[in-house]
Structure 1
Amino acid sequence: FNVSANGLLAADAGAFHRGKPSSDPYAVFLLDNQKEKTKVVSKNLDPVWDDTITLQVPANGTSQLLVRVFDHDKLGHHDPLGEYVLDLPKTNTSTTVSGALRNQPKQKKHATGKINFSYSIAYGGTAPAPHRASIASSADAEGGMLSESVSSATGKLIITALSAQGLRAADKKLFGQDSSDPYCKISVSSASGVEETQTEIIHKTLNPDWGKNFKKALEVDVWDPQSTVTFTVWDHDNVSKDDYLGEYSFSPGVQSKGKGSFTAELKNVQGTSKAVRGHLQCEYIYRAPEEDGLGKLTKKDI
């Protein structure tokens, strides 16, 4: 893994902090019983960690990688800055990922920013060379800098409303009603890599309306006109691996732009033993990639 982040939460701020609000971030990679962490980058909300992380992936290919980011504190508690969950593919892979950070369990301040990394997996052999160079620049477009993967993203998918109904109850209760703590991960996949974002977790419901909690619409960059958009619903678990609740995929199209919507049945694409139930409803705005530079949504498109 070659790792960077951008737009992190400033943990070092307030009346007793001198200077510009910032953090001293480091990242922890957790896979099964393995734990590896990067070095600390001082006073930086857009860190680039030069560390190389190596973990053993189980042969069954069913693991989830958990990445947690913390602010290092020499004297007190290391403040959580957010976390990201990646479902590792079951085949040899070499690609890049950029995903929004969500709150860690019991995290008080709202997580901001993204975690970015390129990785390779080889099951019993050597993984292919990455499609893209490792992400080395983490400033965003407004700052005038783009990493290689972001600079080639020429389209945009904006999720304005998202909800689900009739999900499976993953949390069985001895007393009380069975329920789930669902969140939805949105990924745009192409030969160039994967761009991801996700909703917040809504606790104890089978009918989540994530759109009600949107402080702003969710945005995902689109690199390739042939990209596939996948909505995957998960039940969050503080103790064990998050439970798969189903997914839906579609291709928005080469010429598409403007508003769109769908109501779709969730599918058990991963072939899990537990049943998948429920429907997903989404409203979005889409601008297909253009050849002459970054596609930008205008009032005319909306």
Structure 2
Amino acid sequence: MTKAPVWNFELQDLEQTQNTVLVLEIYAEWCGYCKAIQTIFRRIQLEQGDDKVQYAHVRAELFPQDVEDFQKYVALRGKSRPCFDIYKNGRFKERFFGCAMPKIQEKILAIIKAPPDDDILPDFNPETAIAEEQKIEAKEQADEDQKAAVQQVKARDEVILTEKPLDYKAGKVHIKVVGVHDVVSLDPTGKSDPYFKVKFADKEAQTKKLKNTTSGEYNEDFSFDFDPSTTQDRELKLELWDYDTFGKDDQIGKADIPIKSFRSAKKPVVVNINGTGDNYGQKVGQLDAVVLYEVPNEKIAVQQRQQSFAFTGVEYKPGTVFVNIIGVTNVAGVDSNGKSDPYIKVRFGGLDYETKHMKDTLKAEYNEEFTFAFDPIKTLERQVLLELWDYDTVGDNDQIGNARIQISEFRNRRKKIDIDFRGVGKLYGQKVGKLSTEVLYQVYGEKQLSDKPIIQEYKAGKLNLNIIGVKEVAAADTNDKSDPYIVVKFAGIEDKTEKQKNVTEAVYNKEFNFDFDPDATEERQVNLELWDYNTIGKNELLGKANVPIPTFKSESERGQTSVLDFRGVDSRFLQNVGKLEYEAIYIGPEGGQGESEIFALRPRTSSRAFAGEDGQPSIDELERTARINEQDEGEDKTEYKKGKVTVRIVGVRDIEPIYKGGKSDAFVLVKFNDEEKKTLTVKDTLNAEFNDEFVFDFDPENVEDKTILFELWDSDNITKNDFLGEIKTRLGNYKEAPHLVELDFYGFDDRK
């Protein structure tokens, strides 16, 4: 055979193999599934041994067109479905198309075990192979369409059975397709030519086509007549397609928008596009749109600010919304010097505020808090709109991007989050900055959960902090070194170490002692500042850190040191500017410290609550864990009534992978009343968004177990799926009103 480049050897070596199976994959460079399969084949090779099976792959584009032996492979160029040729003893045994791994693996193992023979398949006809491939693709698409049609009919039947007669009236449905971003790439260029089909009430419209991009704007309006007596449609159907100049266009994904949410209300929405075909189970893009279901003689409310189209499960009540703008990093440079002059506008409830302006930078620290009164009856807004702007001394300021925060996630709970700004205008669809912010939606008359006092968990005593040294100090001086010293602060007392000259590492070995009375001070951490000393001019603050009191050790643990990072401020915002080594000891009021006393000092909860940066306690974790435990402990005294249970799986984050450093193909099983329902599978991730909703019939007389079980699984194409963890929650917790809750999955070894 003529040579062709492959993964581990030349094709001519095939003739020298003795009773060895070779699997040869011919694939396209841009085909993600083709390349993913390579890892699976290598696993088979490791399990069976190199003397039993060898694996090789080669791109169809690399086969020379003028060599007769390779004409059969040249015909496979540009195909997204891989081709597998299986050889044994140098003879051609079998050919497969597609990604049906269980079938291919079964065939490989059968050929390995089979006795040697001289059978050779008929000559390969490229046209016949491609025609067969197209038949397979058409059948798979038809099966998927049939499955979707069955689900659609079922869903419509459920809607018709549960709808009230006056839920829908004749009118018009309007949609403005604004734009799309984060579109998956289907073309060899790594991009797509995306356009949308919009379907409703047996009518279909189509946007213009965008060329060679993953994001872009359409700004096209479509209207449909709606008569609920003549159509069963209650959702706008949107299909995302990739245009092909030659051949058929490829459907990328689809999404539905229920019109009921937009009755006499013109509202912007953000909709996730769910993949179809080879992209099934993946998020393949995000649509920006404006929707209105117009009913004659009903007044139309217009909402100017965009809202995410997502179930929140929260009953909104009057209150106050607090937004603390901490800082922004990774700002897109829009000025001629490659930088920006960024500031942030905060908009909610008809009020607009803005932060101070920063000069010539791609990151900025603000630490400015804004307050908004919130009345859900007077405003349709449920999200805070944040806009990232570039200040111009001459001319108009330029908007760089925007972001939105759903206030329901912060009800009576102050939390810090990091979110991405998405570009507008020429930067549409791009990430143009990362915002750090802290948000609280405080309902009038309800207790702030993060304010739950834990003073009673602490005992008075002495705090002994030994600053051993610091290394990897950020260079603040022109000689690429610094003159570092550390300031230590607690309960109104401030002290510092000596200064070190022209170093990036410094040893101090200085002890600091503080009296700690939990009734006299609200402070629960010792604050540290890393400074650079200047002989001329002001000293420069490099960064900050803190040592939470619950992390202080007992006398019996003296000699055990800890390490934490200083986080930069100002121009070094969020950078690591130094690594501190220290020893922290708590000494009880009697001068000694027993184990029972140190545990009394620390809040009584799992150590998982202190998994934040630098050991900072996560109050959210403490409160959530306590709240769930309180709800699910003891006798269930809920008075249950017959009805329906609706569960929406919004998403899961911080998945612990099966293999260290790896990722998961995650899905969730929901089990209740002897029924089991499954979300879509989100591939190759540790953070998955599902937004899948399930409905269960519930009759308390026939259901003994009134808990909902959630199981987290990792999908596997070859072997059995892997169980990752589970969590139960009592149905009675959610009787009064819908709730948006966060629950932790626990695995077999009780890890979160």
Give the TM interval when normalised to the shorter protein.
Answer: 0.3 to 0.5
- RCO higher in 1 or 2 (8 Å CA, sep ≥ 6)? 1
Bigger CA radius of gyration: 2
- Relative to the length of structure 2, the TM-score reads 0.21
Higher helix share: 2
- Relative to the length of structure 1, the TM-score reads 0.47
